[in-house]
Every structure is written in structure tokens, then in C-alpha cells.
Amino acid sequence: MEVLGRLLGLLVLLFAGTGLRRVGILGPTRTRRLNDLAYYVALPALVFVSTYDRAIGDLLTPALVAGTLAVLFGTAGVAWLLHRNRVDRERRGVAIVQSYHSNLGYLGLPLIAATFSGDVTAVASVVLGVVSLTQVPLTIAVLTGINGAGASIGDELTELVRNPVLLTLVLGLTVGSIGVSVPGPLTVGLDALGSLALPLALLCVGASLQFELPDGDLGTSAAVVALKMAWMPALAWAVFSTLDVGAAAFTAAVVMLGMPTAVSTYVFANELGGDPEFASLNVFLTTLASVGTLFVLIQTVG
């Protein structure tokens, strides 16, 4: 019941963000400031306190990387097979990328930190890094390849490696591997900031969700939801069950890869020739479905 209550609270915060946007309280400027607070302060603080006392070799293992990439590319491959014959290429590319592109930073890591132990959160931080460095260029390649839109993957990768969350992950793993002592008051303060990551991120995601239905194609949206919220975590479970990983790594990988579609896919679709209304609908549907699927997933791995 505790997990269900937490997930229902997640849903409340999401709709609160949407409601605050609709009544004008969370306008573009305030939403951007709230997003900056989560992106540049709360999430980096959460990543650092999760990793600063752990050696990189204990977290970043070949099995974890191989399993994560197998699930990511395996889901992308199934999505391509399922949607490759769509005549409407603007929705074809969106349907493919939204079947595998997960919301790890604004939902996955904060939710795991609020639900599981520090060991699981530390591994989840590494999963965030591995997947982010892979799914972003993959998504850009898929959308530009299908839509013929102009985009520099090199520029996007440069922006990605400047991501404050990923930079903090490298810093935390470096500090943990070297064995540098971090003052207690600093970690306490960072832990308090990190605890704000989930509510801030949920308000930002909620303020970004749109409910307008595009013309038809609910069948394609249903396929996206099924792949993202059922197939991908099931594949993760199957893959990591065969690998030599500990309980913390298994839990972190399966739950992180069971997260809904990232809001950033809407941005990519809007910039790279995709259908933004269709993308927005899928983000909303997968996020809504995640309350039920994550409850089952967390209860099962727990």
C-alpha cells in the first residue's frame, strides 16, 4: 500500500503541474525556472549523494552496460519492425523513438531514490548515464533519418556531455573511486536538495503534458504504450535474469527501463520533423499507464 500511495501521489503532482499551467500559475517563465532548479540543483545533488562513497568498478560493470544496451536496442528494433510500414512518416519516427526513450532523470532516478535503498539508487544513477548517452543520439538518428530533418548529432552530443546530471555522476564516481572524504554537513545539505528532485520534476513534467487528441491513430498510441510500459520492462527482466548482476543492479535496471516515455521526445519531435501533438499524447498516455505498471513492477522486484 505504501508503494501504491507513493505512485498515486506521483499522479497527483503530475496533474497539479498541468492544472497550475492551465490556470496560468505555471506559465512558461515559472516553469522554466522550476525546471532549472530541478535540472541544475536537485537532480545533480541526488546523483552526487548516491555515488560519492562508491567506487566506479562496483557500479559500472560490463554486465550492467551490456544488459542495458541489449534492452534499449532490442526494444528499438521491435518498434521499428512494428511501425516501419507506416505511410505517415512524421508519426512513424515518433512512434519508434517513444517506444524506447525513457524518462530516467525526471522520474526514474527520483522515484527509485524515494522507494529503494541507497545501493539501488547508486546503480540507477549509472543506468541513467549509460542510457542517456545512448538513447539521445539514437533518437536524433531515427528522427532525422525518417523525416530528413537537419540536425547535428555532434552538436547534440556536445550538449549532452555538458549535462549537469551526467557531469555530477562522473564527479561522484570519481570521488568515490579515489576515496576523497566529503564533509558530513555538505552531504546532509545535498541530500535535502536531492529530496526535492521528485516533486519538482513531477510538477515540470505535469506542466509539459498536453491532453489534446490528434486525429485518429489511437491504435498506434496503444502500441507505443504496450511496447514502452510492458515489453521493455519484461525484456529487461528477461535479460538481467540471465546476467551475473546483484539484486541492487537487477532492481535498478528493471525499474529504470520500465519508466514512461520522456517529455524530451516531444521536444525532439517538434524540432526534427515529427508530429508534436502525437508525441505529446503518447507522453501523457505512457505516464498515466506507468502508475499501474510501476506498481506491479516495484511490488514484484521488491
Q: What are the tens digits of pLDDT across the range 199-236?
A: 888 888 888 776 666 565 788 999 999 999 999 999 99
- The whole-angstrom separation of Cα 182 and Cα 151 is 41
pLDDT of residue 119: 94
Dihedral angle computed from the Cα positions of residues 10, 13, 18 and 19, in that order, rounded to the nearest 10 degrees: 140
pTM of the entire predicted model: 0.90
Give the pLDDT of residue 77. Answer: 97
State the architecture of 2-301 in CATH terms. Answer: Up-down Bundle (1.20)
- Given this model, what pLDDT does residue 210 score? 67
Residue 39's closest CA among 128, 171, 163? Answer: 163
Give the CA distances from residue 16 to residues 26, 42, 128, 206, in Å, rounded to whole numbers and listed in that order.
10, 19, 26, 7
Mean pLDDT is highest, among 84-98, 187-201, 221-235, for: 221-235
**Which range is least confidently modeled, 15-19, 126-130, 235-239?**
15-19
Q: How distant is the alpha carbon of residue 67 from its chain centre? A: 17
Give the tens place of pLDDT for each residue, 123-179: 999 999 999 999 998 999 898 888 776 655 566 667 777 888 889 999 999 998 888
Residue 261 dihedral angles phi and psi, to the nearest 5°: -65, 140
* Residue extents of the structural domains in the chain: 2-301
Mean of pLDDT values over 65-83:
96
Mean pLDDT of the chain: 88
* Residue whose C-alpha cell reads 557500479 in the numeric block: 59
pLDDT of residue 98: 96
88 phi and psi, to 5 degrees? -80, 95
pLDDT at 27 (0 to 100): 85
Joined together, the cell numbers standing for residue 202 give 513531477
More confident residue, 80 or 271: 80
Q: Is the pLDDT of residue 66 over 80?
A: yes
pLDDT at 271: 84
